[in-house]
Structure 1
């Protein structure tokens, strides 16, 4: 019998299709759909697969208003569950105005001629996150895609940014604001102006691929029953730079900042934990799970290794899995 991670909550945002087509990033949708599948698989991370615990936004659903509504939903869930462990994952463009210091996350409904008022200011994103009273909160921001994910292996043109803006990872001052309080951890997929790269097969980003490996025990020890923050940090800090160099001949170094003790982020292998043989004993199986998850992404994702059809979830409607209220 699998052990559900009953207090796990996740809000996953992969902007994907932009109202301004030249700014679209389809790979972000693959990332969040794959991550959703792994988190809700009862034989893996075992988050409850229902609208009280999981929300997914992408494509036309990933609007500025919907992102803020989702953060308000997390605030409400955490206020009624003092044991909540929350994961917020944003994958999309993130652009900095070096003159003003303003940083913007770019939602689906951005208006290029009025970006400052239609984009999601990172300070508003941060303020909403700080209202969430969870004692265990992990925020992952993958926001440097302009040259990395946009042209690698899929033929997208180099994205031309609005005048005065540059691609940049989440600035340190915003990370410092975010991690204030108990139980906060902030991860970014790269540092400064480094790009986030996708794998040559186009399946997903390098960062998400290794995150999913870590969630399956890649940095855990035999007998471990939980995946912890430290497992994710140790594995991502080692594997992402190595893969970026090997696969893309580029530099990509993840960043981590925490104001918390190490805490469990999910159960490991449905509560069975890592066997005596460690990661070596399950790596082939884990790789096959990732392959199947990727194959399901973009269609109607099915939780691999379980009898749960994710299309039956009340939070998913339509061919694009866009949340409807």
Structure 2
């Protein structure tokens, strides 16, 4: 991985506050999109290439434009890339063929003709399935109710009304597939809060802090998907006590994959006690402790074992990362684990991923 940029990162961010025919939302919705985009593209934070970060806000966020931009994202993203899709605006719950469905409302949505002027869950799921990246993270912040309680309805002047929000069973549908995950701003019976005078919604306030380094608690230099959600799920209830709890959905997700660089973390030293551990003791034990910290899901995390020349089929399966690393390194020490992996190749691969990690720097490659 390139230590100075995350050119494999791609993002599409959509936000609608000023709907043509539906109640408006606070301006913070637009700030959310612009601030997340700026953070992803910043060389001081996530280091995406600016050209890879696309935003659609208000008048540009039509149904046609959103679907077209999803197709364009799918066309430019490769298998080994990372893709993020962010939507903030109104969602609505509708009855479709005797089943409850959820739709995203674009700026031109019309409640009188909602099925033809919104994006259904089937359309969104199909669009996401065309994105072939091994790592896809979707953010949905569609439980705003314009300042009213979430139980209130979306209405227009002609008397058409729909329940505001997004149905929880649809979230799982959007996260189907290997390497796919979804984060939603709140539970289905809650409102995604925007406090008066605040620049950002509560959810995006936590998301931005996480992307700007707070989610990388080990100063690894990467923002990883599980770490990011863990941070958000802890912070949002602090900002909006008892009223908002983000949710996470994943169908087949084993790896705590990176979604961005943490350039701030690369400048942050590790804990003094960890530094001391790296300076003394058996080098195999030191390496094990470091790898558990940097790759908490085990040798499969970030495909580090394979990239170091190892063969995962030579390793035994373990239910947690710590046990997996202990067994893998014991196998490696005995000459197993693959024909092309050794102590030095494993350290070298980890150093490429975490070039500024001071613990790794103290381990010698023979």
Calculate the TM-score normalised by the size of structure 2.
Answer: 0.67
After superposition, what is the alpha-carbon deviation per residue over 1:188-239, rounded to whole angstroms, capped at 9, x for unaligned? Answer: 0001121000134321101001101111221323431101011211111111
Q: Which runs of 4+ in 1 moved over 4 A?
A: none
Distance 1:222 1:121 in 2: 39
Task: Describe how 1:91-110 pairs up with structure 2 within 5 A.
Answer: 91-97=88-94, 100-110=99-109
Distance 2:84 2:167 in 1: 17
Offset of residue 23 of structure 1:
3.4
Query: Contact 2:232–2:246 at 8 Å: present in 1 too?
Result: yes
Distance 2:117 2:27 in 1: 21
- Rg larger in 1 or in 2? 2
For 2:56, the equivalent position in structure 1 comes to: 57
Offset of residue 103 of structure 1:
1.2
The runs of 5 or more residues in structure 1 that have no matched partner are 153-157, 279-325
1:8 aligns with 2:9: yes
- More contact order relative to length (CA 8 Å, sep ≥ 6): 1
Distance 1:277 1:35 in 2: 29
Offset of residue 161 of structure 1:
3.1
Distance 1:58 1:105 in 2: 14
For 1:47, the equivalent position in structure 2 comes to: 48
Task: Describe how 1:275-314 pairs up with structure 2 within 5 A.
Answer: 275-276=269-270
For 1:83, the equivalent position in structure 2 comes to: 80
Query: Contact 1:95–1:103 at 8 Å: present in 2 too?
Result: yes
For 2:131, the equivalent position in structure 1 comes to: 132
Task: Choose the corresponding residue for 1:252, options 244, 247, 267.
Answer: 244
Distance 1:220 1:43 in 2: 14
Distance 1:73 1:19 in 2: 25
Distance 1:175 1:218 in 2: 26
Query: Contact 2:175–2:181 at 8 Å: present in 1 too?
Result: yes
The runs of 5 or more residues in structure 2 that have no matched partner are 273-366
Task: Describe how 1:260-275 pairs up with structure 2 within 5 A.
Answer: 260=253, 261-269=255-263, 272-275=266-269
Query: Contact 2:22–2:154 at 8 Å: present in 1 too?
Result: no
Offset of residue 262 of structure 1:
1.0
Distance 1:60 1:164 in 2: 23
1:230 aligns with 2:226: yes
Distance 2:119 2:49 in 1: 29
After superposition, what is the alpha-carbon deviation per residue over 1:104-147, rounded to whole angstroms, capped at 9, x for unaligned? Answer: 11101112322221111122111111111110000000001115
Distance 2:268 2:141 in 1: 28
Distance 1:192 1:26 in 2: 23
Higher mean C-alpha displacement, 84-93 vs 215-224: 215-224
Distance 1:105 1:223 in 2: 36
The RMSD of aligned alpha carbons is 2.3
Distance 1:195 1:204 in 2: 15
Calculate the TM-score normalised by the size of structure 1.
Answer: 0.75
